[in-house]
Chain A
Amino acid sequence: ELKVEQNPLFLSMQEGKNYTIYCNYSTTSDRLYWYRQDPGKSLESLFVLLSNGAVKQEGRLMASLDTKARLSTLHITAAVHDLSATYFCAVDAPTSGTYKYIFGTGTRLKVLA
């Protein structure tokens, strides 16, 4: 059974600081997705990582994928309050010829002014 684990589960950080969220998964996959969710809202796609070594950046967020280590990271640079949200990673689980996401439990980020 594919398992996806994120850490930390909760993160409180000061504005201007850097931090990394980790996403580990338990089986072979070369497709990993990061989503953002604001309270009471739906999921917003941030990054799609489709191969080993993939790195994508958008603003203060940068995501990378190491399929050999089964690890993805989401790095936050010089955090600002607007980044406060819950961040989910999801791994594509090809089973029986169909695909579906297996989500991590999420990392709740709070950026303090």
Chain B
Amino acid sequence: GAGVSQTPSNKVTEKGKYVELRCDPISGHTALYWYRQSLGQGPEFLIYFQGTGAADDSGLPNDRFFAVRPEGSVSTLKIQRTERGDSAVYLCASSRTVQEGEVYGYTFGSGTRLTVV
């Protein structure tokens, strides 16, 4: 696609429910990143994929958070037993390679605004 696509754009869920957030990166981009942006804050790193594998998941806050990228393109961020503190905008970004991301920066999607009530 022309840009990084994230769905849904908005998600409201009840505390304790399970949610999945989807990221469709630019075609051919092998590096994919998830960030979380709380209100009034800068984005915080969650996890990064190089191809199908998670190269760095050190930013995932706890074991309720999990992300996959089974075919090396679309990625899904999964949150179990959601809590009100999980409410934030979840941003996905991609680059053709990690090296290109370093030189040219990433392309970010528009994000999914998650609200846990």
Contacts and interface: CB of A to CB of B under 8 A. Distances in A.
The answer on A and B forming one complex is yes
Which of A33, A43, A96: most chain B Cβ within 10 A?
Answer: A43
Given A98-B48, A104-B42, A45 B105 contact: yes
A27 B116 CA distance: 35
Interface residues of B, number: 27
Nearest to A105: B42
A41 interface: yes
A105 B43 CA distance: 8
Interface string A84-98: 000010101001101
Which of A4, A88, A99, A106: most chain B Cβ within 10 A?
Answer: A99
Interface residues of A, number: 25
16 contacts: A33-B105, A35-B105, A42-B109, A43-B43, A48-B104, A88-B43, A90-B42, A98-B48, A98-B56, A99-B101, A101-B35, A101-B106, A103-B43, A104-B42, A105-B42, A106-B42
